[in-house]
Amino acid sequence: PETTSAVGIGGMTCASCVARVERTLLRIPGVTGAVVNLASGRAELRHADGTVAMAEIEETVRQAGFELQSVG
Ligand code: 9UX
C-alpha cells in the first residue's frame, strides 16, 4: 500500500521553485506523487510503504538547492 509523508521545504521563494521541487521529488525512485505548497513550505509525498528513505529525500532536496526542514 501507499503512504503519504509530509515534509517541510525551506528556501522556496517563487512559484517556479515549487515546480522545481515537485519535479525533483518525483525523480526519487518509489515516489509516486508530490504536491508542494509555497505558502506553507509543506510537501506531501506519496510513496509505496517503506520504499523511500528520508535520508535520500533530504539529500535530493539539498542537491536541488533547498533544505528539508522537518519530517512528519
Ligand atoms: Mo524563482 Mo526558485 O525566480 O529556485 S525558481 S526563486
The pLDDT assigned to 71 comes to 61
Quote the domain boundaries for residue 19. Answer: 2-71
DSSP string, 29-68: TTEEEEEEETTTTEEEEEEETT---HHHHHHHHHHTT-EE
CA atoms within 13 A on the CB side of 32: 10
Domain count, the chain: 1
Kindly report the CATH number assigned to the domain that includes residue 18.
3.30.70.100
Nearest Cα residue to atom 2 of ligand 1: 17
Q: How far is the CA of 17 from the centre of ligand 1 (A)?
A: 5
In which band, very low, low, confident or very high, does the pLDDT at 27 lie, cut at 50, 70 and 90?
very high
- Looking at this protein, which amino acid is placed at residue 16? S
**In this structure, what C-alpha cell is assigned to residue 7?**
515534509
17, with CB counted inside 10 A (0-12, 13-18, 19+), is middle
- Mean pLDDT to the nearest integer, 51-60: 87
The answer, yes or no, to whether residue 70 has pLDDT greater than 90, is no
Ligand 1 mutation pick, 9, 14, 21, max ligand atoms within 8 A of CB? 14
Report ipTM for this prediction. 0.86
Kindly report the pTM of this predicted structure: 0.88
- Mean pLDDT to the nearest integer, 18-40: 95
pLDDT in tens, 2-25: 999 999 999 999 999 999 999 999
